[in-house]
Structure 1
Amino acid sequence: MEIKTICHLFFDLVDNHPEHVMFKYKKDGVYVGLKCKEVREKVENLANGLISLGVKPDSKVAIISHNRLEWVLADLGIVTSGGVTASIYPTLLGHQAAYIINDSDAEWIFVENMLQYEKIESVWKDCPNLKYIIVMDNTKVDKENVMTFDELIEKGKEYKAKNSEEYKKRWQSRKPEDLLTLIYTSGTTGDPKGVMLTHNNLVSNVVDSTKHVLGERIKPGKLTALSFLPLSHSLERMAGYYLMLYNGATIAFAESIDTVAQNMLEVKPTCMVSVPRLYEKIYAKVLDSALSGGGLKKKIFLWAKNVGSQIVDLRVRGKKPSGMLKFKYNLAKKLVFSKLKEKTGGRLWFFISGGAPLGKEIAEFFLAADLIILEGYGLTETSPVISVNTFDKIKPGTVGLPIPNVQVKIAEDGEILCKGPNVMKGYYKRPEDTKEAIDEDGWFHTGDIGMIDEDGFLVITDRKKEIIVTSGGKNVAPQPIENALKASKYITQAVLIGDKRKYISALIVPDFDVLEKWAKQNAVDFTSREDLIEKQLVKDLIQKEVDKVNQDLARYEQIKKFALLPQELTQDGGELTPTLKVKRRVINEKYKDIIDSLYAE
């Protein structure tokens, strides 16, 4: 079957490999599998159920849920019934969800559980077009036009018995240019915009990314992926879901973001998609464990890290170690790096990283440990992949080479422009915004600043809108400096400040697990985290870490002052987007008094 739509992608897998385990999910404390033939039946019944409720070609159906089996079943049911999935982050508040329901023209919505049901039910009166709510975890609600997931499946069975050909007609009639999904941007600078992605946008990105990274399509049974990034986001939707189905992977759903470490040991994935935060946390734990061990343990770790750096340098140049270096590397793997691999389940082949820049030091450390992080780059508007590192062509500190059929160029002001079949159809009901984003020649303006290095690798320097311009007129890119700070084992988060100010300063969140251990070892008494960050010895410790970063910066980029925060920046606190990007405007408002104190004479 020629894969032209996501419908083709799905049926190509389930019809040709009925016994393949397509999904795994936790049930009664253990992971159980669902075969392709079982998935096919559930999806067909769900789709028929939706058709019986009035879903027509191009109808909008929303989903608000964390990652779970029912999310993908609902999505496949919507898509194969001819509908369009509008995804909503489960962390959004009721009025924010209502905005997306109304803006997307969604008439049906799948909700994860009673928490999400109550959220939507409370704003239902503000959503005049919303007809039905379907509860995924099968909690029964005695209210008109509310049904459980299983009830929708039963409704689908009844409809199918009387209309046996309608479903097949629906999915077979979908065309590459038809709308597949509406994915809403995070809305860091105003109301979220609905990004219109077609079947061809996603299919082309799946096929071209596969060619670029894997060389050829992989047969079912070779890959096992652990899914935990939000399926509401384009990165997990394409790379962790559609691309995995195209390559016959088994997708296992993590119970939550907090259980990822444990779920990795249970599932033993061969590949995973993540944002840099996961790698930063793993790196910080390894660093703390090694360096606080003292004596011989510390020496062995630093020796292995040095050997690993030499290996990375060879690998980037396309060479392999030999002689004494090969011997040293094998020993380093046995003594140090193998322990890191065990923590991932022992079978990991590669990670995919996107959504935000990955620190070069962290990428190099994982590569040295033979845990390859293929860092890529893209946006929701580009389905999302524009470029990505590969096994053969990898360069830490870059986001790789453009994938096939996607063109990249740098505008005169340094902005990255992209053209290809992956570029969105436009913003839903926003022709002016679409016109602003995609020029007359079809180039999408990413809003990111970057360069193409001497080897053709794309390097991202910062967001165009996030460049800090000091009162002296100097341009400072915050993200590389923030990443350098976060490479310290004592620092978990950092936000640079300085726009229209005389100098650069920073808000820093320490890694309190590491810091509290350090405080006890150094006889620093404290009663709370607020008390701890006020201790002069702690400020001196963080100052040393800041000084290390400042050594490699131009004078105008250097951090002159910093303030320590007593708690992490979070989504719930409003400081981070659902993809864990910093909301700089919110932080500037929320911590205004602290920031002003850094600039007080």
Structure 2
Amino acid sequence: MSGTNSDTLVHRFVHWERVQPDTPYLTESMPDGQVVEYTWQEVGDQARRMAGYLQSLQLPPRSAISIVGKNSAHWIIADLAIWMAGHFSVPLYTTINADTAQYIFEHCDVRLLFVGKLDGKTDGWNEIRKAVPPHARLIGLPMSPVPEALQWDDIVASQAPLRDVHLPAPGELATIIYTSGTTGRPKGVLHSFGTIFAYAAQAGEFCGFTPADRVLSYLPLAHTAERSFVESNSLCHGFQVFFNDSLATFVQDLHRARPTVFISMPRLWTKFYQGVCAKLPASQQALLETASPEAAVIKQQILTMLGLDATRIAFTGSAPLPEEITNWYRMLGLELLDVYGMTENFSYSHYSRPGLVRPGYCGQAMPGVECRIAGNGEILLKAPTMMLGYYRQPDLTAQSMTEDGFFKTGDCGELDELGRLKITGRVKENFKTSKGKYVAPAPIENKLSHAKVEAVCATGPGLAQPFALLMLSAAARGELQGTPAYDALRAELRGMLDKVNDTLEDHEKLAFAVVVADAWTSDNGLLTPTMKIRRGAIEKRYLPMAQAWAELGQPVIFETQSVKTQ
């Protein structure tokens, strides 16, 4: 990618717009079932028209322009228009509350807000709209819930396309990504056109991307993982992006895309696995482990059923996946590559290499990344994708770096002899029991693997021994009808608990496990938008019951059942 057309993602887009104008770029399934396709030329035409309109507003140079909406073709087109007009984008999670939205709008002085695909029920739009500053203009993307706003379609219909778009320098600010964070105010992470291009160039080489590739966009584009993997890679390497309309159409949209490269979080890989296991007779499951022609046929059928039959690279990230599930996918012919990255380095740090996957480890450092482990176990990193800093927080920026320029990740880890990194927890997550012993919860959580358990939180500060909170999958919760079902699951979970405790130090052994009654979601604040547990919120909710549970003396407790039935 040498030459003048490869300095930034805007340069790369202009390149693809020129060399493959009639090739489909963005393919979107609509709520009414229609499928709409936009070619590179059509995306360029709309982005240039909107960029022309943004320039006509004569906003101060490099103004902050926000995008809030679920993933859609126009989310990416709006981002392009912002860049082509010489401004920077500030994406918002669709589930943030009014306080957080107001903080972000004021913190970076948002001048205009693109409002995309939202419904006010599965997102926080009814909250966010209260926080929009009076001076900020609203532009409704197609599928937006704001009829009173200026409409994208009306603007592009009447606006001439901007011929000489702003071609940014690598050092210019491209975006501020406010971290979802597990505590406190979000931090505004500054990324330049240079840092996000460095990601796309290196990650793209790792994946071997070509314009023939296809990906499905369904993780939040406001988050770095999707912004890097889908938006940055597609703009850089010229491949096609398909969008998921809703949870109900996920399987259908996945089948339409038949992605060649696919990234997901452990929860979805687990759901896929649970779904197939529930449908597959025991005889066929046993057959999978053989090298017979029949097994090969079933494996291909499973991958086709999942929509992953064309997938040549599959990634998993954000938390370790149980070894049995990783091995099951490998048996199907899909080697899941664990990756590690964060907002501050634009999701570019460590990737597992094909053939070198080690369960529980998230791979080796990517080209240009330096990694070392500090004396307290903290992972320290340098990368060509490292942020410019935290917006308007110079002290926090300085505190997050070592004197010799390494970023303090806040994660604890260890490296093996091949340089593969294992995340062992968060520096601040370790808690002390009443016996004065410190416990790191993450390694314990990673061991608590059961087909019916979707999320785990190990906790117990101030108690004699730690305990575990287990959230069942929706299907498993639905099966819990009557005493026999509870007894059977209790026995299975007791077996898992005993097995895990056998591997733990005395002070780490779990006194009991509680199967929680309610699902943890990002809507109720118990998960982040990327499905990680919000430890602080979960502990605030459940720790007040811990002493009473401990006094029951039962190894497995169901929160839904009354105390006397334990």
TM-score normalized with structure 2 length? 0.90
Residue deviations 1:56-76 (CA, integer Å, cap 9, x gap): 432100011010111111111
State the 1:95 CA deviation. 2.6
Paired residue type of 1:51: Q
State the 1:230 CA deviation. 0.2
Matched, 1:357 2:320: yes
2:261 to 242, 267, 271: 271
State the 1:412 CA deviation. 1.3
- Paired residues of 1:408 and 1:417 also in contact (CA < 8 A): yes
The residue correspondences of 1:176-191 to structure 2 (distance < 5 A) are 176-191=170-185
In structure 2, do the counterparts of structure 1 residues 419 and 289 end up closer, same or farther at CA, with 3 Å as the change threshold? same
State the 1:331 CA deviation. 4.8
State the 1:108 CA deviation. 0.3
Q: Name the CA distance, whole Å, in 2 between partners of 1:197 and 1:84.
A: 10
In structure 1, the residue matched to 2:556 is: none
- Paired residues of 2:351 and 2:365 also in contact (CA < 8 A): yes
1:423 to 376, 382, 386: 386
- Paired residues of 1:25 and 1:68 also in contact (CA < 8 A): yes
Matched, 1:9 2:12: yes
- Paired residues of 2:460 and 2:543 also in contact (CA < 8 A): no
State the 1:261 CA deviation. 2.2
Paired residue type of 2:206: H
State the 1:385 CA deviation. 1.2
- Paired residues of 2:22 and 2:39 also in contact (CA < 8 A): yes
SS at match of 1:48: helix
State the 1:142 CA deviation. 7.1
- 426-435 or 354-363: which moved more? 354-363
In structure 2, do the counterparts of structure 1 residues 114 and 395 end up closer, same or farther at CA, with 3 Å as the change threshold? closer
In structure 1, the residue matched to 2:560 is: none
SS at match of 1:385: coil
Matched, 1:41 2:38: no
Q: Name the CA distance, whole Å, in 2 between partners of 1:360 and 1:585.
A: 27
Q: Name the CA distance, whole Å, in 2 between partners of 1:140 and 1:565.
A: 35
In structure 1, the residue matched to 2:365 is: 402
Q: Name the CA distance, whole Å, in 2 between partners of 1:516 and 1:89.
A: 30
Residue deviations 1:550-591 (CA, integer Å, cap 9, x gap): 233333322211212122111111101111111111111112
1:78 to 77, 82, 103: 82
- Paired residues of 1:377 and 1:388 also in contact (CA < 8 A): yes
Q: Name the CA distance, whole Å, in 1 between partners of 2:188 and 2:317.
A: 21
- Paired residues of 1:490 and 1:542 also in contact (CA < 8 A): no
Q: Name the CA distance, whole Å, in 1 between partners of 2:336 and 2:296.
A: 17
In structure 2, do the counterparts of structure 1 residues 560 and 333 end up closer, same or farther at CA, with 3 Å as the change threshold? farther
- 380-389 or 342-351: which moved more? 342-351
State the 1:493 CA deviation. 1.9
Q: Name the CA distance, whole Å, in 2 between partners of 1:567 and 1:425.
A: 40
In structure 2, the residue matched to 1:134 is: 139
State the 1:231 CA deviation. 0.2
Matched, 1:192 2:186: yes
SS at match of 1:192: coil
| Structure (1 or 2) with the greater helix fraction | 1
Q: Name the CA distance, whole Å, in 2 between partners of 1:269 and 1:379.
A: 24
In structure 2, do the counterparts of structure 1 residues 98 and 516 end up closer, same or farther at CA, with 3 Å as the change threshold? closer
Matched, 1:387 2:358: no
In structure 1, the residue matched to 2:101 is: 97
- Paired residues of 1:267 and 1:345 also in contact (CA < 8 A): no
SS at match of 1:361: helix
Aligned length: 544
Matched, 1:148 2:151: yes
In structure 2, do the counterparts of structure 1 residues 516 and 87 end up closer, same or farther at CA, with 3 Å as the change threshold? closer
Residue deviations 1:475-519 (CA, integer Å, cap 9, x gap): 43322332332x3122222211123332110111223523654x5
Q: Name the CA distance, whole Å, in 2 between partners of 1:419 and 1:515.
A: 44
State the 1:9 CA deviation. 2.1
Residue deviations 1:261-282 (CA, integer Å, cap 9, x gap): 2211222222222221111111
- Paired residues of 2:115 and 2:146 also in contact (CA < 8 A): no
State the 1:600 CA deviation. 4.1
Unaligned 5+ segments in structure 2 are: 553-566
- Paired residues of 1:374 and 1:388 also in contact (CA < 8 A): yes
- Paired residues of 2:313 and 2:335 also in contact (CA < 8 A): yes
In structure 2, do the counterparts of structure 1 residues 338 and 142 end up closer, same or farther at CA, with 3 Å as the change threshold? closer
SS at match of 2:159: helix
2:229 to 231, 239, 249: 239
SS at match of 2:50: helix
SS at match of 2:375: coil
Percent identical pairs in the alignment equals 29
SS at match of 2:235: helix
In structure 1, the residue matched to 2:496 is: 545
State the 1:134 CA deviation. 0.7
The residue correspondences of 1:470-489 to structure 2 (distance < 5 A) are 470-485=433-448, 487-489=449-451
2:216 to 226, 243, 268: 226
In structure 2, the residue matched to 1:254 is: 244
Q: Name the CA distance, whole Å, in 2 between partners of 1:114 and 1:539.
A: 39
SS at match of 1:180: strand
Residue deviations 1:287-315 (CA, integer Å, cap 9, x gap): 3444xx34x345435xx1xx6xxxxxxxx
2:206 to 203, 209, 212: 212
Q: Name the CA distance, whole Å, in 2 between partners of 1:504 and 1:584.
A: 14
Q: Name the CA distance, whole Å, in 1 between partners of 2:487 and 2:354.
A: 46
Matched, 1:123 2:134: no
Q: Name the CA distance, whole Å, in 2 between partners of 1:206 and 1:511.
A: 35
In structure 1, the residue matched to 2:471 is: 509
Q: Name the CA distance, whole Å, in 2 between partners of 1:391 and 1:591.
A: 41
Paired residue type of 1:195: V
Q: Name the CA distance, whole Å, in 2 between partners of 1:588 and 1:539.
A: 23
- Paired residues of 1:415 and 1:447 also in contact (CA < 8 A): yes
Residue deviations 1:52-111 (CA, integer Å, cap 9, x gap): 123443210001101011111111111121111101001112232121111121110011
- Paired residues of 2:9 and 2:235 also in contact (CA < 8 A): no
In structure 2, do the counterparts of structure 1 residues 547 and 135 end up closer, same or farther at CA, with 3 Å as the change threshold? same
Matched, 1:19 2:3: no
Superposition CA RMSD, Å: 2.4
2:541 to 578, 590, 593: 590
State the 1:465 CA deviation. 1.6
State the 1:21 CA deviation. 1.1
SS at match of 1:108: strand
Q: Name the CA distance, whole Å, in 2 between partners of 1:370 and 1:239.
A: 22
- Paired residues of 1:212 and 1:390 also in contact (CA < 8 A): no
Q: Name the CA distance, whole Å, in 2 between partners of 1:415 and 1:212.
A: 27
State the 1:460 CA deviation. 1.3
Q: Name the CA distance, whole Å, in 1 between partners of 2:453 and 2:43.
A: 44
Residue deviations 1:100-134 (CA, integer Å, cap 9, x gap): 1111211100112473765444223xx35x42011
Paired residue type of 1:147: L
Q: Name the CA distance, whole Å, in 2 between partners of 1:81 and 1:575.
A: 38
- Paired residues of 1:185 and 1:380 also in contact (CA < 8 A): yes
Matched, 1:58 2:62: yes
Q: Name the CA distance, whole Å, in 2 between partners of 1:371 and 1:471.
A: 45
In structure 1, the residue matched to 2:561 is: none
- Paired residues of 1:140 and 1:148 also in contact (CA < 8 A): no
- Paired residues of 1:49 and 1:155 also in contact (CA < 8 A): no
Q: Name the CA distance, whole Å, in 2 between partners of 1:101 and 1:72.
A: 20
State the 1:354 CA deviation. 2.2
Paired residue type of 1:123: A
In structure 2, do the counterparts of structure 1 residues 552 and 428 end up closer, same or farther at CA, with 3 Å as the change threshold? same
Q: Name the CA distance, whole Å, in 2 between partners of 1:555 and 1:337.
A: 45
In structure 2, do the counterparts of structure 1 residues 212 and 468 end up closer, same or farther at CA, with 3 Å as the change threshold? farther
